[in-house]
Amino acid sequence: MELSKVRTMEQIIASFKDGQTIAIGGQTNHYMPERLIDCVLESGAKHLTVYSIDSSDPGMGISRIIEAGRVDKMITTHVGTNPRTNARIQDGSLKAELIPMGTFIERIRCGGMGLGGVLTKTGLGTVVEEGKQVIEVNGQQYLLETALHADVALTRCRKADPLGNLAYRGSSGHASHPVIATCADLSIVECDHFCDLGEIGPDEVKVPGMFVDMILV
């Protein structure tokens, strides 16, 4: 039985379909899964919803998918570094839900762990509260921020083994990739270094292979 989760670009490209929700790891232009973003573009998939910390800078990272007109909606924390994303929001071709970064990560985490959402005070009394349920617990009010679950997660790691155990290095690697790798029905990871089984020590593993479906080496 073939245990390795390594797949070709062609196999990964075939995974993308119109209308999918795709969660993408990385922040600004740091440590983006650029080869997996190439696969999305090559697939021709459109009418996508994207979850990401931001939309990168023009011509880079997630912005490449947006500029190609493939994304209908984003849930993100800011778009301030990308005037092309802002232009699409202003002309109505891209819908954007902006949420605080901590809330974004916790909603993603809930999506991966099978939880319905998280209660937070962040955003109470601001535009973030609009359209959301306010719940009182022990006399305190909280916003209910519902879980974010995706069809596909695209992330990047420093090391991966054939079973999909993942290890990371540095703040860019740890920032969002480990959480996003767990939040989707199909988790695809781009790795910098492919290891033999057993080469990654147990203490190094940040995402167990049970969460990972495909590896691009």
Read off the CATH number of the domain in which 205 is found: 3.40.1080.10
What mean pLDDT value characterizes the chain?
A: 95
Contacts of 164 (CB under 8 A, 6+ apart): 5, 189, 207, 208, 209, 210, 211, 212, 213, 215
Q: 112-141 burial, b for 16+ CB within 10 Å, e for fewer? A: beeeebbebebbeeeebeeeeeeeeeeeee
Q: Which domain holds residue 88?
A: 9-114+150-216
Mean of pLDDT values over 67-86: 96
- Contact present, 196 and 217 (Cβ < 8 Å): no
The pLDDT, as a whole number, for residue 2 is: 62
127 lies in a domain?
no
Indicate the residue type of 129: E
217: exposed, middle or buried (Cβ count in 10 Å: 0-12, 13-18, 19+): middle
pTM score of the predicted model = 0.95
The pLDDT, as a whole number, for residue 98 is: 95
Residue 1 has pLDDT above 50, yes or no: no
56, 106, 185 from 93: Cα distances, Å: 18, 28, 27
Mean of pLDDT values over 5-26: 97
Number of domains into which the chain is organized: 1
Of 77, 32, 68, 24, nearest in space to 50 by CA? 24
pLDDT digits 0-9 by tens, 165-206: 999 998 877 889 999 999 999 999 999 999 999 999 999 999
Separation of alpha carbons 149 and 191, rounded Å: 23
Indicate the residue type of 148: L
69 lies in a domain?
yes
Mean of pLDDT values over 84-99: 96
pLDDT digits 0-9 by tens, 81-91: 999 999 999 99
Mean of pLDDT values over 152-164: 97
Handedness of CA 51, 56, 62, 64 (dihedral sign): positive
Percent of the chain predicted with pLDDT > 70: 99
Strands (DSSP E) found in the chain:
21-24, 48-51, 71-76, 95-98, 117-120, 134-137, 140-146, 150-160, 166-167, 184-194, 214-216
Separation of alpha carbons 50 and 201, rounded Å: 33
Residue 18 has pLDDT above 80, yes or no: yes
The pLDDT, as a whole number, for residue 45 is: 98
Mean of pLDDT values over 108-124: 97
3 lies in a domain?
no
